[in-house]
Structure 1
Amino acid sequence: MVEWSIIGYNTLMPRKWTNQDTLTYRRQLIRLYSKENLSIFEVGEKLGLSYQCIFQRLKRLGIKISPESKKGYTNKRSLNRLQESQDLAEFIGIMLGDGHISREQIFVTLGKKEKAYVAYVIELFRRVYACELKCMLNKKGHHVLYIGFRNLVDYLLSIGLVMNKVKEQVKVPSWIFRDRKYIIGFLRGFFDTDGSIYKLKHGIQISFCNMSMPLLDNTRTALISLGFSPSKISSNRVYLTKKKDLLRYKKEIGSANPTKMERINKWVGTEVAKPGTL
C-alpha cells in the first residue's frame, strides 16, 4: 500500500510501507478493530484517518473485515414497515441533498458550523427509524452522521434513492407527491442541505442546487404544485425570487437548519438586508 509524505511546501510523493510500518499498523488495527471490536468508522475517528483509509489498510494487511461482529451491525437490526409521513419525506430530502448510501451504511455530511442542525437531524432520524445516528468529525471538521443498517439501505434503494446520485441522476420518490405535507417536508430537508439564500442587487433569492437534473425538475414541480413560481433550471439550480414566494416560503416551509432560518428571518420580509450568502 502506498501512503503519502510531504517533501516540500506543496509537493507530495508516495511512500511505501517499511517492515516496521507494516508491523505497527497490523498491531494497531488488530487491537482496535479485532480486540476492542470498534467499527471501521470508530477506528478512523480514533486514529484521525478516513474510514476509506482504514478499510484499505485492513485489506492490505489481510485482517478479516467482519462488520457483522460489530455492535449494532445492520443484519442485527430490524426495520419496521415505515409509514409515509412528513418526517420521512424531510429525511429523504436531507439524503437527496447531503446524504450518501453505501452497501451497508448511510451517511449525512453537514458543515462545521451546523452543530445545532446535526442535533435536529439525529432527532428526526430517531423519530422516523427508532434508532440512533452516530456522529464523527472528518479531517475537514465537517460532521459526518452515519449508521450501519442494511435493511434501511435496502429500503432507501427500493424507493428510488441510489448510491451515486450524480451518475445515476436520482429523482424524488413518487409517493412524496401524494400529499402536500410530504412535499413541504421534502422541500425543507432538501433546502436545509442543498439550498441557499442570498442577497441580489435588488432583492433576495432562494436557490436549490444539485447536479441531478431529474431531482431539480422534481423540485421545481414540487414548488409549482404548492403555488410557487420557480425559475427554470439554470446552472444546476432552481430559484425563488418573487417577494410573495419568499414570504410564503418563510411562513409555510421555513427551515429546520438554525443558521439558514436565521438568515431567512433576517432578510425575507425586511427592507434592509446586508450582503452575504449561505
Structure 2
Amino acid sequence: MEISEDMAEIMGAFAGDGWIESREKGFYILGDPLEDKEYYDTVLAPLFSKEFSTITPKQFSSWRVYGLASYKKKDISLALKYGFVKGSKAKTISVPKEILISKSLQIKIAFLRGLFDTDGSFYCDKARGKYANTWRKTHHHQPRIDFQLASKQLIYSTKQLLEQIGIDCAKIYFIKSKETATRKNNTQYKLSIHKKEYIKLFFKNVESNNPRQKTKYEIWQKYGFVPPKTSVEQRKEILAGTLDPNTLY
C-alpha cells in the first residue's frame, strides 16, 4: 500500500509511543498528559482522523497518560495492512522497509518527525570540562537530540534514516538499566546528535510538531541556553518575554 506523508508521521508516532493489542481490540498512541497534550489535540488527532476514523484525544487516568485510542475494527485492520505491529513490539519494532527504501525524502522525514515528537528529546547540557567558565558550568547551553529506544532494530534503522537525509549521528550507546520486579529486561539503545550544525539541520528539515520539543529549541536559539525541568507553559512564557530564564537558576 502506498504510504502518504501523514501516514508516515503516524507510523513514526506509533513506533515511539503506540501499540495494538494482540487480540486486535484496541489501537493506542499515548503520551504525557501535560507536556504532550497540545500535540495530541492539535496535531496527531487531526492526522489520525484524516487517515483513519475521526478521533478525539482523552485522558487515561489509571495509566497517567493522554492520547489516542481507537477500538474500531476498520482502523485496526487498516493499520495492520500498513504494517503497524500488534502485540509486544518494544524490543522488535523497526522502521518499516517501505519507508527505508522509499525514494521520497519527505516520507522518511515524516516518519522521523513522528518518532521524535513522541519518543525523542531535545535538551541542553552543562559543560563539565575542567577549564570551562562558571556560566558554562551552570547554564545548560550544549544542545543534544536523543533517541533512547528499547528496540535495537529501531535505533539502527533510525540512524540509517537520519544518514539518508544528511544528518550524521554520534555512536549508538548500549544502556543496561537496573532490573525491577515488573521489568526484567530494561536494555535500551541511545542515539545522540551532538553537533550544532546537524541539530540545526534536523530542526530545519525534520522540524517538530510537538510544543514540548519546539519550545526548548526556540529558547536555545533565542537565549543560547535552556533551563532544565521547565514545563511547556513556563517555556511559552520565556518565549513571550514574560519570564526571564535566568531566574530559573
How high is the TM-score relative to the length of structure 1? Answer: 0.65
Q: Tell me by how many angstroms 1:222 deviates.
A: 0.4
2:79 to 153, 156, 175: 156
Partner of 2:96: 173
Partner of 1:117: 39
Q: Tell me by how many angstroms 1:152 deviates.
A: 3.3
Partner of 1:267: 220
Q: Is the 8 A contact 1:206 1:239 kept in 2?
A: yes
Identity over aligned pairs, percent: 26
Structure 2 Cα separation of the partners of residues 141 and 166 of structure 1: 19
Q: Which has the higher contact order (CA 8 A, sep 6+)?
A: 2
Does residue 189 (structure 1) correspond to residue 111 (structure 2)? The answer is no
Q: Tell me by how many angstroms 1:191 deviates.
A: 0.6
Does residue 246 (structure 1) correspond to residue 199 (structure 2)? The answer is yes
Q: Deviations over 1:195-236 (max 9, x none)?
A: 111112241100011100101111000000011111222131
How high is the TM-score relative to the length of structure 2? Answer: 0.72
Partner of 1:59: none
Q: Deviations over 1:24-67 (max 9, x none)?
A: xxxxxxxxxxxxxxxxxxxxxxxxxxxxxxxxxxxxxxxxxxxx
Structure 2 Cα separation of the partners of residues 257 and 146 of structure 1: 19
Matched residue type, 2:147:
F
- Quick check: 145-154 or 265-274, which moved more? 265-274
Structure 2 Cα separation of the partners of residues 248 and 242 of structure 1: 10
Q: Tell me by how many angstroms 1:130 deviates.
A: 4.5
Q: Give unpaired runs (5+ residues) of structure 2.
A: 128-141, 176-188, 232-249
Across the aligned residues of Structure 1 and Structure 2, the Cα RMSD in angstroms comes to 2.1
Partner of 1:142: 65
1:108 to 29, 40, 59: 29
Structure 2 Cα separation of the partners of residues 150 and 131 of structure 1: 14
Q: Which has the higher Rg, Structure 1 or Structure 2?
A: 1
Matched residue type, 1:263:
K
Matched residue type, 1:274:
P
Q: Is the 8 A contact 1:160 1:170 kept in 2?
A: no
Q: Is the 8 A contact 1:199 1:277 kept in 2?
A: no
Partner of 2:167: 228
Partner of 2:190: 237
